[in-house]
Amino acid sequence: MKTLIIIIMAGLLTSCTSNQKKMEQETNPFFTEYATPFDIPTFEKIKPEHFLPAFKEGIKQHDKEIDVIVKNGEEPTFENTIVAKEESGELLRKVSNVFFNLTSANTNKQLQEISKKVGPMLSQHSDNINLNKKLFERVNVVNESNDELNLNPEQQKLLKETYKGFIRGGVALAGEQEKEFRKVNEELSLLSLQFGENLLSETNSFKLIIDNKDDLAGLPDFVVEMGAADAKANSLEGKWVFTLDKPSLIPFLQYSDKRDLREKIFKAYINKGNNNNDYDNKAIASKIAALRVKRANLLGFESHAAYVLDDNMAGTPENVYDLLYKVWYAALPVAEKEAETLQGMINAEGNNFELQSWDWWYYSEKLRKEKYDLDDELLKPYFELNNVKQGMFDVANKLYGLTFEERKDLPKPHKDAHTFEVFDADGTHQAILIMDFFPRSSKRGGAWMSTYRKQYKIDGKNYSPIVTMVMNFSKPTETTPSLLTFDEVLTMFHEFGHSLHGLLSDCTYRSLSGTDVSRDFVEMPSQFMENFAAEPEVLKMYAKHYKTGEIIPDELIEKMNASKHFNQGFVTVEYTAAAFLDMDWHTLTVPEEKDAIAFENASMQKIGLIPEIVVRYRTPYFAHVFSGGYSSGYYSYLWAEVLDADAFEAFKENGLFDKNTATSLRVNILERGGTEDSMELYIKFRGQKPGIDPMLKRKGLLE
């Protein structure tokens, strides 16, 4: 009787567990179709507690799908092995797309805790696939019969990338080396996550609080209003708050007459992650760099940079350094002359202090005003955010025939976001674009483009992309709308260029579609779009005074054009120094942890960075390379400038909105993603390889 009761109880427990799991799956949005227009995620229904079960189930399903491929009794073919692997893991992809977009743009403590659990799970899962020797055997059979398969270029590229992915993923490793490889990958996933979380916490923890009106000296009304709005948001009515977010930081550095306060906020910015507190990133960055060396060595590469660049257009670290030094030697003398000029202004005012890094923004803004009668205070009224946005849309319409319709009936990831349906020239649905403009404590700094779904095709059916474009611009105040600096306008056009790369994708395989191209090619479409922002014809399309509606006058456009080379020595040196720092960290050949600041100082001394300029990203807050995807790749913005300057010449030669040129760019680059070699795609568009001179001339660094 007792045995019977135990059996019955066990059955009931099993039944309860089964029913509970079934109920969880029925209420978890990831386990059903979204049932929304265009399959947009049902953001309002997705809760933090849904992610971990969905990740676990997604990994479980993906494992089963991989197992089916491995155990397929038929001879390996392109379809039953390469395509089958490509299309596997749909649930895991579905939950990952939402989760990682939210942790970047709208995170919280719950999501951060989930990240710490998910990171190692995904690292282990990825390694389980990349190190699956039986799966690789099937891939290798297909790869070796490539010449007999009559594959089209996109299929050939998918086969090549799949095979290469296994080689670069460590499939040749065995025994202790394989164990070490797995351990390194797991550690890196956690350390990169911690680096980003620390940086967000550091950024949020600093506030420059001003309660004396005299300390606002020099600040224009729009900056004062912004400070009051930030104070109100922090329950500090009657005061003014300035933060380390760029829309708050940069105007304060440009205009504040209070040198001590400029120094305070600037030092807080450049010491993010370097305060010897719970959020310190120095040891983490050094550990990441050492682990990357170890992983590269295991895979047979001398350094992490050699490993990364073997898969990029640059090919080798030597080629990257060659590019960087060419630019450095052109820009450094210009920056030194700029420093001398600013010191002259300081002396002329009767001051006896030497120019410091926290003075550069302030005195360069004064110089711009003096030399060109131009400053951001004069320009910002013409760059109201919605007008700029519409101007971008109009440019895309003139180039590619696209139109954008805001859809307030569609789900969105945050209440401040805006969702647009994108239509092609013939009126058919092309894509969804979600735009998110303003800073918040749950959003990391900077600006970026990502996707909730990449474009792809299965069995002839096209799945259109869902693209998100995230920025951190000045919020509207009680008296003014969001007004952008011209640098912010360029940022908006830049991210829109990335977005167009995703929106216009027309590929079969999602791993090759949209922005899935080599790291040093991905910035080409984005930086190409920046060129349009400053063109007089385009400025007159969107630069309208927010109060009067007056189109920006020719006089102002002429001043902008006259000042286009202004401060380019500083801008180029600041950026290129960071690219050198990235390369120096990642050309290490021995997996030893370094003193991060001593290493950074030595790196900057080696290239002769002048003391008045601080490297754009110091090691403890260099998120691009220690928590993003740009390690050994920060130079890519500079290489992309070479490409985009050359590409834009085609439009200057043939007409700004020449249809044939625009169509060629769309068909040969924007639609093709990574389906062919990047340089081959570029040559198809341009008819030639690019040279460096157009970029240097555009910057005013070459006579």
Report the alpha-carbon angle 647-452-387, nearest 5: 55
- The pLDDT score that the predictor gives to residue 235 is 94
Tell me which of 61 and 11 has the higher pLDDT: 61
- Contacts for 73 with CB less than 8 Å, ≥ 6 apart: none
| Pair 396, 537 in one domain | yes
- The pLDDT score that the predictor gives to residue 474 is 87
In the sheet that holds 418-423, the strands lie side by side as: 403-406, 418-423, 429-436, 466-470, 448-453
- The pLDDT score that the predictor gives to residue 375 is 87
| Pair 388, 527 in one domain | yes
| Pair 31, 68 in one domain | yes
Catalytic one among 225, 495, 530, 612? 495
| Pair 537, 400 in one domain | yes
Catalytic residue status for 495? yes
The phi, psi pair for 353, rounded to 5°, reads -100, 160
**Sign of the dihedral through C-alpha 690, 695, 697, 701:** negative
Domain annotation covers residue 360? yes
**Sign of the dihedral through C-alpha 293, 299, 304, 305:** positive
- The pLDDT score that the predictor gives to residue 660 is 97
Choose the weakest-confidence range: 13-22, 594-603, 612-621.
13-22
With a cut of 70, say whether residue 15 has pLDDT above it: no
| Pair 558, 573 in one domain | no
- Locate 387 and state its tokens: 């007008």
Encode pLDDT of 211-251 as tens digits.
Answer: 999 999 999 998 999 999 999 999 999 999 999 999 999 99
> Hey, is 115 helix, strand or coil?
helix
Mean pLDDT over residues 445-455, rounded? 96
Mean pLDDT over residues 308-318, rounded? 95
With a cut of 70, say whether residue 5 has pLDDT above it: no
User: In the structure, what pLDDT confidence band is assigned to residue 10 with cuts at 50, 70 and 90?
Assistant: low
Domain annotation covers residue 472? yes
Mean pLDDT over residues 351-369, rounded? 97
Report the alpha-carbon angle 541-544-546, nearest 5: 145
Chain centroid, CA 409 distance in Å: 28
Kind and range of the H or E run holding 405: strand 403-406
- The pLDDT score that the predictor gives to residue 20 is 57
- Contacts for 687 with CB less than 8 Å, ≥ 6 apart: none
Q: Are 86 and 509 in contact (CB under 8 A)?
A: yes
With a cut of 90, say whether residue 461 has pLDDT above it: yes
Encode pLDDT of 188-202 as tens digits.
Answer: 999 999 999 999 999
Mean pLDDT over residues 110-115, rounded? 96
Q: Which of 270, 294, 324 is the last residue of a domain?
A: 270
- The pLDDT score that the predictor gives to residue 24 is 61
**Distance, CA of 158 to CA of 675 (rounded, Å):** 7
Please report, for residues 391, 494, 524, 675, the alpha-carbon distance to residue 529 in angstroms, rounded to integers and kept in the order given: 12, 6, 9, 22
Choose the weakest-confidence range: 12-16, 257-261, 329-333.
12-16
Q: Give the largest Cα separation in the chain, rounded.
A: 102
Q: Which of 118, 146, 172 is the last residue of a domain?
A: 172
| Pair 336, 388 in one domain | no
Encode pLDDT of 602-625 as tens digits.
Answer: 999 999 999 999 999 999 999 999
With a cut of 70, say whether residue 676 has pLDDT above it: yes
Mean pLDDT over residues 363-369, rounded? 96
Domain annotation covers residue 669? no
- Locate 131 and state its tokens: 């190190």
Domain annotation covers residue 689? no
CA dihedral 314, 320, 324, 326 (to 10 degrees): -70
Mean pLDDT over residues 652-676, rounded? 97
Which CATH number goes with the domain that contains 345? 1.10.1370.10
| Pair 463, 555 in one domain | yes
From the list 222, 259, 258, 264, the residue with the least C-alpha distance to 243 is: 264
With a cut of 60, say whether residue 12 has pLDDT above it: no
With a cut of 80, say whether residue 364 has pLDDT above it: yes
Encode pLDDT of 249-286 as tens digits.
Answer: 999 999 999 999 999 999 999 999 999 999 999 999 99
Around Cβ 592, how many Cβ atoms within 10 Å? 11
Mean pLDDT over residues 670-687, rounded? 96
Number of domains forming the structure of the chain = 4
**Distance, CA of 253 to CA of 264 (rounded, Å):** 10
Kind and range of the H or E run holding 242: strand 240-242
Domain annotation covers residue 11? no
- The pLDDT score that the predictor gives to residue 1 is 54
Domain holding 313, by residue range, is 282-374+569-626
Please report, for residues 221, 380, 474, 477, the alpha-carbon distance to residue 481 in angstroms, rounded to integers and kept in the order given: 13, 11, 9, 6
- The pLDDT score that the predictor gives to residue 287 is 98
| Pair 258, 293 in one domain | no
| Pair 416, 532 in one domain | yes
**Distance, CA of 202 to CA of 271 (rounded, Å):** 9
| Pair 499, 430 in one domain | yes
Does the predicted model carry a pTM greater than 0.85? yes
The phi, psi pair for 582, rounded to 5°, reads -55, -50
From the list 514, 508, 512, 516, the residue with the least C-alpha distance to 459 is: 508
Mean pLDDT over residues 478-502, rounded? 95
CA dihedral 29, 34, 36, 41 (to 10 degrees): 70
> Hey, is 210 helix, strand or coil?
strand
State in Å, rounded, how far the first CA of the chain is from the last one.
98
Domain annotation covers residue 557? yes
- Locate 192 and state its tokens: 């990169």
| Pair 354, 392 in one domain | no
Domain annotation covers residue 350? yes
> Hey, is 195 helix, strand or coil?
helix
Residue 244 CB-density burial (10 A; 0-12 exposed, 13-18 middle, 19+ buried): buried
Report the alpha-carbon angle 247-249-252, nearest 5: 105
- Locate 377 and state its tokens: 């205070």
3-state secondary structure string across 592-660? CCCCHHHHHHHHHHHHCCCCCCCCCCCHHHCHHHHCCCCCCCCCHHHHHHHHHHHHHHHHHHHCCCCHH
Mean pLDDT over residues 378-390, rounded? 96
**Distance, CA of 559 to CA of 500 (rounded, Å):** 30
Q: Are 497 and 529 in contact (CB under 8 A)?
A: yes
Chain centroid, CA 454 distance in Å: 16
- The pLDDT score that the predictor gives to residue 146 is 92
- The pLDDT score that the predictor gives to residue 190 is 96
Domain annotation covers residue 275? no
- The pLDDT score that the predictor gives to residue 9 is 54
Q: Which of 609, 626, 643 is the last residue of a domain?
A: 626
| Pair 447, 477 in one domain | yes
Mean pLDDT over residues 515-538, rounded? 96
**Distance, CA of 199 to CA of 213 (rounded, Å):** 31
Mean pLDDT over residues 56-66, rounded? 98
